C-alpha cells in the first residue's frame, strides 16, 4: 500500500475517532467537548477547513461529471485500455484523497475547538456531513476494487457514481454551510 494511502487512512481514522469521541462526550456530559483548540488556532483550523471543503467540492464534482464517465468510454475501447486508464487514475489519487482526508480531519478537530468563526451548530453539521461523505467512500472504493478484480461493469459504474454523488452532495452542503458562517456576525 502506498505511503500516501496510509496517510489518507490515518486521517480518516483520526477523524472518525474525534467525531465519535465528541459524540460520546456531548451525549454523556450533555455539553460540548472541551475546547482543545482556541483563539487563532481554532480560527486557522476553521479557515483551513473552508479551503479544503471548496477544494473537495471542485474535485468531487469533477470526478463525478468528467472522470468517472470515462470508465465506460475506456471500457468500450477494450479491457487493456480500461485497465491502463484505471492504473493511471490510481497513480493520481493523492491529489484527491489527501485533501479529502485533511478536510475531514479539520472538520472533526473543529468539534474540539472554540466556535470562533463558525457556530457550534455549524461545526457539528459540517462535521456530520464530512462523516457521511467518508462513509460513502467505502461504496465507491468497492466499485473501484471490483473494476480492478473483474473489469468494467455497468453495475460497478452505477455504484461508483451513486456513492460519489452522495459524497459530492455532502461535501457541497458542508462547504455552503461553512461559507455562510463567514457572513454571520462574530460573538
Asked if residue 62 is part of any domain, the answer here is yes
Q: What is the CATH number of the domain that holds 147?
A: 1.20.1420
With respect to residue 133, please indicate whether it lies within any of the assigned structural domains.
Answer: yes
| SS3 assignment, position 66 | helix
For the chain, the first-to-last Cα distance in angstroms comes to 46
Spatial distance between the Cα atoms of 60 and 184, rounded to a whole number of angstroms: 27
Chain segment 146-161, per-residue pLDDT in tens? 888 888 999 999 999 9
Q: Does 35 map to a domain? A: no
pTM exceeds 0.85 for this model: yes
- What are the pLDDT digits (tens) for 10-44? 999 999 999 999 999 998 888 888 889 999 999 89
CA–CA dist 44, 39 (Å, integer): 9
For residues 17 and 105, the answer to whether their CB atoms sit within 8 Å is no
Residue corresponding to grid cell 497513480: 91
CA 44 to chain centre: 19
User: How many domains, in total, are found in the chain?
Assistant: 1
Range of the domain at 115: 3-30+40-183
Cα distances from 80 to residues 18, 55, 66, 72, 164, in angstroms, run 43, 32, 21, 13, 25
Amino acid at each position: 500500500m502506498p505511503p500516501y494511502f496510509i496517510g489518507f487512512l490515518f486521517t480518516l481514522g483520526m477523524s472518525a475517532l474525534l467525531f465519535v469521541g465528541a459524540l460520546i462526550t456531548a451525549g454523556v456530559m450533555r455539553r460540548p467537548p472541551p475546547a482543545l483548540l482556541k483563539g487563532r488556532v481554532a480560527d486557522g483550523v476553521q479557515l483551513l477547513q473552508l479551503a479544503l471543503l471548496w477544494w473537495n467540492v471542485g474535485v468531487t464534482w469533477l470526478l463525478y461529471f468528467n472522470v468517472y464517465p470515462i470508465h465506460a468510454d475506456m471500457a468500450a475501447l477494450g479491457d487493456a485500455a480500461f485497465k491502463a486508464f484505471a492504473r493511471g487514475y490510481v497513480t493520481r489519487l493523492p491529489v484527491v484523497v489527501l485533501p479529502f482526508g485533511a478536510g475531514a480531519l479539520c472538520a472533526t478537530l473543529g468539534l474540539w475547538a472554540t466556535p470562533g468563526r463558525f457556530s457550534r451548530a455549524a461545526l457539528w453539521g459540517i462535521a456530520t456531513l464530512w462523516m457521511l461523505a467518508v462513509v460513502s467512500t467505502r461504496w465507491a472504493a468497492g466499485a473501484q476494487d471490483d473494476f480492478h478484480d473483474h473489469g468494467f461493469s455497468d453495475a460497478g459504474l452505477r455504484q461508483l457514481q451513486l456513492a460519489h454523488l452522495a459524497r459530492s452532495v455532502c461535501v457541497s452542503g458542508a462547504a455552503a454551510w461553512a461559507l455562510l458562517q463567514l457572513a454571520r456576525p462574530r460573538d
